[in-house]
Amino acid sequence: MSLVATLVSTPTAPAVDQELLVRAADTLGATEAPVVLSPGVAADIRFTGADARAAEQDLRSVIGSQPVDVFVQADGDRRKRLLIADMDSTMIRQECIDELAAELGLKERISEITERAMRGDIEFEPALQERVGLLEGLPVSAIGSVLSNRIQLMPGGRTLVQTMKANGAYCALVSGGFTHFTKAIANMIGFDENQANTLLEADGKLTGKVGQPILGRDAKRARLEFLAAEKGIAFEDTLAVGDGANDLAMIERAGTGVAYRAKPAVAEAADFRIDHGDLTALLYLQGYAEKDFVLS
């Protein structure tokens, strides 16, 4: 079977050097030279093999502690037609609800619940209701302040979305967070649509309630399935990325499910994991070279 191994490091600390590529190619028994996708950052190695997982483990042994991600998959057309992405700790660096809690001096308390929910130790829906309840009385105006002063886009996210859209893909931001944030983040990055939960408000303050039904793990998978059917896209041409337990259903359902700097259970279940690269790693995974990137 024709396979391709892609090695990726973060652009801010290139680690895919020639020495590593030679050792990796030798390990795989590759008969052709690696294809550099971005000097020092990413490269493809094509080879013949029967077991992609075994090849991945062999490469991880060669790489050792070097900050390099490894993807091994069937060679061919890897470009996806549908991207569905989580927001918190995936397309942005922060968890929005934790940053809202900071406005009330409750960040440590709420962050602990968030962490347990994202690990899958507790169910997402009741954990969300508990955390939102603690936000009761927070002025709605604080949301704008948090967006302006606390929220940072994850590196590579806009390039990922703009490049995929330029090549005909549809991109959806689907979050267990809140519409106040997804609308703004989707606009900044360029997503075609966004879905999230609704924080209820009255008299300019949060009520401590969230609109029903809550958008959780099943709703994320359902949106993936709906979009694939609506647009006539085969599941093998879909890509899902997230970091927490509420992303597991869509990651497992997608043709390619990716765990981005994720909790252990998510990384274990995903087809691929990104521990070092930024979000442009998802482009290299699809066979894009840096010269193909759409920067805007």
Ranges for all domains in the chain classified under CATH 3.40.50.1000: 80-95+152-202+209-296
CA neighbor of 91 nearest in space, from 287, 290, 280: 280
Does residue 160 carry a pLDDT above 90?
yes
Ranges for all domains in the chain classified under CATH 3.30.70.270: 1-76
Give the side-chain half-sphere CA count within 13 A for 76.
7
Does residue 203 carry a pLDDT above 90?
yes
What value does the mean pLDDT take over residues 39-66?
96
Active site residue 278: no
Considering the chain, what percentage of its residues have pLDDT values greater than 70?
100
Candidates 58, 86, 237, 243; catalytic one: 86
> What is the Cα–Cα distance from 186 to 195, expressed in whole angstroms?
10
In contact, 151 and 177? CB cutoff 8 Å: no
Candidates 44, 58, 69, 88; catalytic one: 88
Tens digit of pLDDT for each residue in 269-278? 999 999 999 9
Q: Domain 1-76: give its CATH code.
A: 3.30.70.270
Segments of 26-104 assigned E as strands: 35-38, 42-48, 69-74, 82-85
Structure-token match 């899958």, residue found: 120
Neighbours of 232 (CB within 10 A): 8
Could you give the C-alpha distances from 280 to 18, 28, 293, in angstroms and in order? 21, 25, 9
Q: Which CATH number fits domain 80-95+152-202+209-296: 3.30.360.10, 3.40.50.1100, 3.40.50.300, 3.40.50.1000?
A: 3.40.50.1000
Helix-strand-coil split of the chain, %, nearest 5: 40, 25, 35
Does residue 158 carry a pLDDT above 80?
yes
What value does the mean pLDDT take over residues 96-113?
95
pLDDT for the residue numbered 206: 98
Active site residue 121: no
The sign one gets for the Cα dihedral 37, 40, 45, 51 is negative
Does residue 296 carry a pLDDT above 80?
no
Does residue 236 carry a pLDDT above 80?
yes
